[in-house]
Structure 1
């Protein structure tokens, strides 16, 4: 852990210049995705703006921004969908954006997502460059950009904001900036429930660093105090919101779990997901889908094993493991699992390293082809079932 913190990092003045190829490539991929969405939507008579900013979860976020918490929908089967399930940082930013600009809450959400996705791409590059090299950083950003569900990065959803905060918190941990890491982890905890993954990474890294210090004590006590302060700050965002929900619902610490239960969402170790996959094998088309799901899960597990074998820094392994476990082992909304895995960008490091070894022209052809396929899939997906 300390070996990574001691590595030379580029000076702030040159950081943007070094990241520019990654950011330009990322922006190009997102632009292709948006053009494909606009063309597909026009052919169907649909509004791409509505698909990006005024459907599914984005509606819930804008309602929180406009009206605050307290809105809920009671379904015929008795389930209660409460907007308390949605963490507050994105709605707060939407409200701020609408207050200081002429933008609506929905358009402010799109603006936040756009800026956050660029910040996420930069943070992902910074992590990969620090752990490996600049070329790997560029490749990792582009691989993340061309994921089949990459269009979510351009939606008024919280995935891009969370990934930005998580990536920069991890970078701060890797470079020994403990207070910064704690603050960013706390903000990530105000963005999505999976903020627990960032907190876990900060805590595990700090504890490991404390153990290293016991074997080789430092003369200066300031780093010890900064690590401790980072650990204290990291969980405040998530803990504060969960406790507030518990107070509002009158259920104490269990209040947020009750809210999630109203959405039929929870953590069951993957049992419901396994049953969902098994249920696919009742017909030939369903069996093909089931085989595809099994192959997808196997690929994710394989990538994580490769990450371990390649000796990724412990904070990245902890973060990725928690994000992946929470995504795959949630008990509902099985169609959401691909987008829930979007923040697990270190899973893609083995692919980025492989691409970094290939000639630039060849890797450009591969990434360009995948980007076009991803753009077409994203346009088809949002004009169809879309992300629940």
Structure 2
């Protein structure tokens, strides 16, 4: 079971299989190309959300901040983060614009990309429920709520059927990746060791990123207009915090939680131009240096 590929959700490898025959190079090159293209689509989605909620400058800053997070190097690698972020961004934008069927369909695709699609299902589902109960937009919110979980739940059910056990996917996840969920003890215990023992930069950075994510999630929750984005981010932060493995990857797993950057983007949008440029420059330098460390010296996944 430790070598099974059932732990990987099917959309990203499926798209690679479609692109590989029509692109030069091997499947790895197709995966990188797909990640780059998805990154551009994700940045466009972030710009659209920031512009819709605040201003054009906030939209640009939201996309720029996402591009210089500490683990931004992953956005140019063959990981699912950019594809998942793109699907989430446009699904949430569709929610904000009340384009319910689009939101539901994109959410279903996101659910075929990563298990954290559960966060998007929660956001789209609750927003659709709120619209349905207030009799807004007719039948479309109800349809979106039904469509949204099809991808994630469908894949989990399929894996369970393949393995002949209802908890099949979670069994694969625990057996192949040695990962499940606890009460937060693993995350707190690992972070506590940073105060008493030898500190690896990757662990320290992930601790700082996780702390910042928790603070920003609280701040974002105060924005009533963006509450579906807050739900999405809170669920992702919770899934990362309560995950009992791969502490060194928690920063990467938070990359799709882009709404956490919205309070910073809106704050910088109202700041002096020199302040805005200085903050982005400092963050870009930190991200670049840390990216070099991950690429050249870190021996595990980023």
The TM-score bracket by the shorter chain reads: over 0.9
Local SS of the residue matching 2:224: coil
- Segments of 5+ residues of structure 2 without an aligned counterpart are none
Q: Distance in 2 between matches of 1:124 and 1:319?
A: 14
Aligned to 1:304: 217
1:109-148 alignment, distance < 5 Å: 109-148=31-70
Q: Distance in 2 between matches of 1:114 and 1:288?
A: 27
Segments of 4+ in structure 1 off by > 6 A? Answer: 287-293
2:142 to 214, 218, 228: 228
Compared CA separation, residues 326 and 289, structure 1 to 2 (3 A): same
Q: TM-score, normalised by structure 1?
A: 0.73
Does 1:352 pair with 2:265? yes
Q: TM-score, normalised by structure 2?
A: 0.93
Q: Distance in 2 between matches of 1:125 and 1:242?
A: 32
2:274 to 361, 364, 370: 361
Aligned to 1:57: none
Aligned to 2:108: 186
Deviation at 1:368, TM superposition (A): 2.1
Please give the per-residue CA displacement for 1:56-76, whole angstroms capped at 9, x wherever unaligned: xxxxxxxxxxxxxxxx6xxxx
Deviation at 1:163, TM superposition (A): 0.2
Aligned to 2:255: 342
Aligned to 1:204: 126
Aligned residues: 300
Aligned to 2:228: 315
Q: Distance in 1 between matches of 2:72 and 2:244?
A: 23
Larger Rg belongs to: 1
CA RMSD of aligned residues (A): 2.0
Q: Check conservation: 2:61, 2:269, Cα contact below 8 A.
A: yes
Question: Greater CA deviation, 157-166 or 138-147?
Answer: 138-147
- Segments of 5+ residues of structure 1 without an aligned counterpart are 1-71, 73-79
Q: Check conservation: 1:281, 1:290, Cα contact below 8 A.
A: no
Compared CA separation, residues 268 and 373, structure 1 to 2 (3 A): same
Q: Distance in 2 between matches of 1:151 and 1:301?
A: 22
Compared CA separation, residues 287 and 114, structure 1 to 2 (3 A): closer
Q: Distance in 2 between matches of 1:371 and 1:345?
A: 16
Deviation at 1:377, TM superposition (A): 1.4
